[in-house]
Amino acid sequence: MFSVIACIRDDHDIRLIFVAAFTCLMGSLATMLLFARAQECRSHQRRYWITAAAFASGVGIWATHFIAMLAYQDSIPITYAVSPTLLSMVFAILGSWLAISVAFEWDNSISFACGGVLMAFGIGAMHFTGMQAIETSAKLSYSLPRIVASVAVGISFASLAFVAFRRLHRVRRIVVGALLLLLAICSLHFTAMSGVALTLETDVPSEALAIDRSILASIVLAAATALILSSLGAIFIDRHLTDLRGFANASLEGLLVLRDGRIIDANERFFTISGWSAQQVVGAVPEAFLTLDLEACTEAAIPLETTLSGRDGKAIPVETVIRSITYRGHECSVLVVRDLTERRRAQQMIEHLAHHDILTDLPNRSLFDQRMRQALQMANRKHGEVAVFCLDLDRFKAINDVFGHAEGDRLLCRVAGILQRVAEEGDTVARLGGDEFAIIQPMRQQPEAATRLAERILVEFAAEMDTARDPTAVGVSLGIAIFPRDGANAEQLYANADTALYRAKRAGRGHACFFDAEMDKAARMRRQLENDLRQAILRKQLYLDYQPIYDVGSDSVSGYEALLRWRHPDRGIIEPETFIPIAEESGSIAAIGEWVLEQACQEAMRWRQPASVAVNLSPLQFMIPTLYDQIERILRKTGLDPRRLELEITEAALMRERTAVLATLQRLHRLGVRVVMDDFGTGFSSLSNLRAFPFDKIKVDRSFTGALEHDPAARSIVRAIIGLGHSLNMPVVTEGVETEIQRRIVIEEGCAQLQGIFFGKPDIGPSQQFPDMDRAAG
């Protein structure tokens, strides 16, 4: 150690030592900066930076050595042979390259430490080869322990320098790394130099080509300075350019730099969007990839939408805009290419959602209307036909209520599946809301095509929906209207298909009905009546006729049946058989039924005799939960004795919510109201219905009475019913008695009461017949 310090102090010009150290420091700093650059880059670029670092380091070491040698003061003049001088530089560079390559190959602390070791060997190889270049009259001798020691300190510091670079961060790794590398180079050099001894000799062989040491010094210094400065410059320029490129690559838009109409550069994003490579793009004209008018694009204030042909042949929707820039010192334009694929996809999704039902993914009403318009336009042009189907699911509401909405949703999806399966290409199956489905069948031979499709739908429903066993299965009804026969526009067609659907449902479900003009007239009249009926009570157009009921035992009129009439301002008197079903379907039966009850009770109160009054109840009135309270209130209000009131109900009333209906009837029965089974023999005529509830009377339907005279079967039915009534202890009434013969027959069969025009037509009632009573009551 001391001898090394002594060697520096005694044998060297201290000023030149500083120059050497400064050169070394610059070289080391450049090396470390290049290290850092190499580390920032990815593989292929890293190679260049490793090579640059090897050059900076090698030349730095080499220059340090020769400047230090310049500082070496000895009385004997020294020159340098060219080849070993050059060879020493090669060793320094190669050694550095090997060391740095090894360090970066594995890029961990160990590989960096190994790199340091190799670096020291490189410095050593350079040093001793450089020493061989010395040509002097003296003989050089080396001390082996010093050589070993010099390499050892070199290894230590160089490894430390490499590891420090790997471990430390930011400026510190550059500064500390560079200082340790400086120490490695200098300590190796001076330790080795402290073991050098010169002994004068005369016949040292000299190479022909030798350089004077001052010239060499100048060359070395110039070379070192140039190299170090240029590598530092390279780092900064590269960083600047890389950052710019990184900036351009980070952009979401593809960028093409154009000069004189040709592409001179492009960013990564453009390659990603298009799939083309730099080689294919650079040098080409932008029109080769883009459908575009450069001039229009330059002038356009807003981005223009166009397509980019991708490498895979796909047309990519893009929007483009052109901006002027200065690029590499030239006026250039940059063509910005924005990929619209994602935006288009989102747009398509929104459009899809706007036109489709979320649950079933079928077209919704808006798309249905659109398709309908298109289909009609096309049919108009080509004189074709279009069928429109309206579909309705039977029992859907009940399933939704009983099994919940999830089950309802599942069912709707199943139905959508069936319809899509049976529909042909070009047909539109839509869900218009709730359980309302519709189909457009454009441009086919009608009504054959519609008949086939309707059949397929019904068959498929029957196969997939086992309504008999599966409580969550539904049936379907279809109404069909055909353009141009059944309507000139979409609204009319749809309304007519709906009318046909209505008929199909009335035909007993699971049916398909075509629209026809008769149906239309009936439907229109029906709709009109439906509207008029809503006003009928308020406008006092309803009134009751009373038909006497003759009692066989007492040979007198024991009561009257109230029969509803509607005096329509335009159509005159309308029969209940026409308007009651309409009232039932439109729901106005509830109000009308209540009115009838109150009216009948009120009028019966005015009769002189306390005859009974029979009121017909629609099955739908039993759906009113407060029916019992309503009747009780009316009785209280009018003051009619409940025993005078008879309610005529048909078996249909017992079909739905049977227990609730029976409970209501029980309560009414307890109140004293009598209940009559009306129209017996037509519907289910079930004995169990008669047994389930103690009816006060059975009324044989009038259709049997009409047939009694010439149809023995009718007579046996009437006889059976009367027999049944007897066995159940229920008196039997026969209605529709028109003739003496009929009267005789039914009395013979044992009927207790009779009703019919033979005894009296339905008319204004006993209040008119007994004016005295009327006045007394009024």
Residues near ligand C2E, by CB under 6 A: 547, 563-564, 575-577, 580, 596, 616-618, 648, 678-679, 702, 735-738, 756-757, 762
Stretch that binds Ca ion, among 74-82, 214-222, 613-621, 626-634 (CB under 5 A): 613-621
Residue 650 in the binding site for Ca ion (CB under 5 A): no
What is the amino acid identity at position 582? Answer: I
Omega of the bond leading into 731 within 30 degrees of 0 (cis): no
Residue 653 binds which of ligand C2E, Ca ion, none (CB < 5-8 A, kind-dependent): none
Q: Can you tell me which of 360, 616, 650, 664 binds Ca ion, judged by CB under 5 A?
A: 616
* Least distance (Å) between residue 592 CB and ligand C2E: 7
Q: What's CA 251's distance to the chain center, in Å?
A: 29
Piece of the chain touching Ca ion by CB under 5 A; list 217-225, 370-378, 492-500, 640-648: 640-648
> Which does residue 177 bind out of Ca ion, ligand C2E, none, counting CB within 5 to 8 angstroms by kind?
none
The label of the residue with tokens 């994003």 reads 269
Shortest reach from residue 614's CB to Ca ion, in Å:
7
In DSSP notation, 620-670 reads GGGGSTTHHHHHHHHHHHHT--GGGEEEEE-GGGGTSSHHHHHHHHHHHHH
| Chain residues 84-123 in contact with Ca ion, contact rule CB under 5 A | none
Rg of the chain taking only CA atoms, in angstroms: 56
Q: Is 392 in the site for Ca ion (CB under 5 A)?
A: no
| Cα 245 to Cα 254: distance, rounded to the nearest angstrom | 12
How far is residue 67's CA from residue 85's CA, in Å, rounded to a whole number?
13
Share of the chain residues as helix, strand and coil, in percent rounded to the nearest 5: 60, 20, 25
Segment contacting Ca ion by CB under 5 A, of 47-55, 306-314, 590-598, 673-681 = 673-681
Q: Specify whether the CB–CB gap between 733 and 699 falls below 8 A.
A: yes
Shortest approach of ligand C2E to residue 747 CB, angstroms? 15
Query: Which residues, including other chains, have CB under 8 Å from residue 567's CB and lie 6 or more apart?
Result: 541, 542, 543, 573, 574
SS3 1: coil
CB under 5 to 8 A by kind: which of Ca ion, ligand C2E, none does 618 bind?
A: ligand C2E
Distances (CA, A) of 469 to 399, 466, 472: 14, 6, 9
Question: Closest separation between CB of residue 599 and Ca ion, Å?
Answer: 16
CA-based nearest residue to 65, from 161, 154, 169? 154
Q: Which is nearer to ligand C2E, 267 or 755 (CB)?
A: 755
Which tokens go with 455? Answer: 């059949």
Query: Rounded to an integer, what distance in angstroms lies between the CA atom of residue 268 and that of residue 253?
Result: 10
Residue with tokens 């999704």: 349
Looking at beta carbons only, is 524 or 539 nearer to ligand C2E?
A: 539
651 is an interface residue for Ca ion by CB under 5 A: no
511 versus 526: smaller Cβ distance to ligand C2E: 526
Burial class (CB in 10 A: 0-12, 13-18, 19+), 707: middle
DSSP bridge pairs for 158: none
**Interaction with Ca ion in 124-143: which residues (CB under 5 A)?**
none
594 binds, among Ca ion, ligand C2E, none (CB under 5 to 8 A by kind): none
Q: What span, in angstroms and rounded, lies between the C-alpha atoms of 158 and 104?
A: 15
Nearest approach in angstroms of CB 651 to ligand C2E is: 12
Q: Is 679 in the site for Ca ion (CB under 5 A)?
A: yes
Which segment (200-208, 230-238, 609-617, 663-671) binds Ca ion by CB under 5 A? 609-617
Site string for Ca ion, 295-324 (x = CB under 5 A): ------------------------------
Pick the closer one to Ca ion by CB: 216 or 614.
614
The minimum distance between CB 545 and Ca ion, in angstroms, equals: 12
Q: Which two tokens stand for residue 225?
A: 């300075």
Tell me whether residue 333 or residue 767 sits nearer to ligand C2E (CB atom). 767
